[in-house]
Amino acid sequence: MKLSDDQIRQFQDEGYLFLPGCFSPAEVGVLQEAAGTVYAMDRPEVWRESSGAPRTAFAAHLYNEAFRRLGAHPRLVEPVMQLLDGPVYMHQYKVNAKAAFDGEVWQWHQDYGTWQRDDDMPEPRAMNIAVFVDEVSAANGPLIFIPKSHKAGVQKAGHDLETTSYPLWTLDRETVTRLAEEGGLVAPTGVAGGVLMFHGNLVHASPPNISPFGRTIVYLSLCHVDNHIRRFKRAEWIAHRDFTPITPLADDCLLELARERAA
């Protein structure tokens, strides 16, 4: 899949791009089944909220076939290769949950700020692409972006080790306020199957989910192979050390898996 010139300009200007309906209901069904499978696992890669509800499953593409295929899906990998101008590898893979009533906050942060500080990634030649596995609404903890904030570069941040179960380099209120006054706030929502692409420096967060409806989003953090990390401080399943370029699979790879399982 290729982005149009208008889509590329929008991404460069706003720092994100929303592609609703990128995956069909049948493909979404494969991913929903896979999410339930990995969240039920007792593995160090599967992190939980204080309530015991799943928070995130790291590196799920290494132990689940559906997520392996999603990690090399051409509708995800090819647009990122287009934006980053070359081959990419998987820096991080997360299946993030916001469990009904129990899904906690993700504080204001920049992903590249973490990749730079913790992993020694040289430049922000990396970005996220997110797949809505469930409907994302205003009520169940959507991502909130500050448009154009990627243009301001890496912001000063503090290492929050206490607010949630996952340590994060977070921005202070003054910084978030200043950037929001300049760029505003948006929270893209939509039915399962939508895809969000966003710049590694785009400031974002997500509120708790106090609704009775859970939501899951899969995040691929893709990095240009020449820009691979230099520090191996974090666990390999959090910050990957295999810099092999991703070869996109066939466009029907998820449906083919469903056919194989039904046979």
Q: What are the structural domain ranges in the chain? A: 5-262
CATH 3.40.50.2300 fits 5-262, yes or no: no
Query: Does the pLDDT of residue 165 top 60, yes or no?
Result: no
Mean of the pLDDT values across residues 190-209? 95
Mean of the pLDDT values across residues 122-139? 96
Q: What is the mean pLDDT of the chain?
A: 93
Distance of alpha carbon 100 from the chain centroid: 20
Q: What is the percent of the chain where pLDDT is above 90?
A: 80
For the chain, report the end-to-end CA distance as a whole number of angstroms.
29
Among 94-108, 121-135, 179-193, name the one with the lowest average pLDDT.
Answer: 94-108
Query: Does the pLDDT of residue 157 top 80, yes or no?
Result: no
Q: What is the percent of the chain where pLDDT is above 70?
A: 97
User: So what's the pLDDT on residue 146?
Assistant: 96
Q: Residue 246 has what DSSP assignment?
A: P
- Answer for the pair 66, 257: CB distance below 8 angstroms, yes or no: yes
User: So what's the pLDDT on residue 59?
Assistant: 97
Query: Does the pLDDT of residue 184 top 90, yes or no?
Result: yes
Query: Does the pLDDT of residue 195 top 90, yes or no?
Result: yes
- The Cα–Cα gap between 98 and 221 comes to 19
Query: Does the pLDDT of residue 150 top 60, yes or no?
Result: yes
Q: Is 118 helix (H, G, I), strand (E, B) or coil?
A: helix
- The Cα–Cα gap between 74 and 2 comes to 9
Closest among 253, 140, 196 to 20, alpha carbons compared: 196
Mean of the pLDDT values across residues 121-137? 96
User: So what's the pLDDT on residue 263?
Assistant: 76
* Confidence class for position 48, pLDDT limits 50, 70, 90: confident
Look up the pTM and report it.
0.92
Q: Measured between alpha carbons, how far is residue 164 from residues 99, 113, 117, 161, 195 in Å?
A: 14, 18, 19, 7, 26
Mean of the pLDDT values across residues 222-230? 98
Relative orientation angle of helices 74-84 and 5-14, to the nearest 10 degrees:
70
Which distant-in-sequence residues (6+ apart) come within 8 Å of 128 by Cβ? 111, 196, 197, 198, 200, 219, 220, 221, 222
Category of 86 on φ-ψ map: left (φ > 0), alpha (ψ -120 to 50) or beta: left
Among 53-57, 112-116, 137-141, 164-168, name the one with the lowest average pLDDT.
Answer: 164-168
User: So what's the pLDDT on residue 163?
Assistant: 57
- Answer for the pair 194, 17: CB distance below 8 angstroms, yes or no: no
- The Cα–Cα gap between 146 and 185 comes to 5
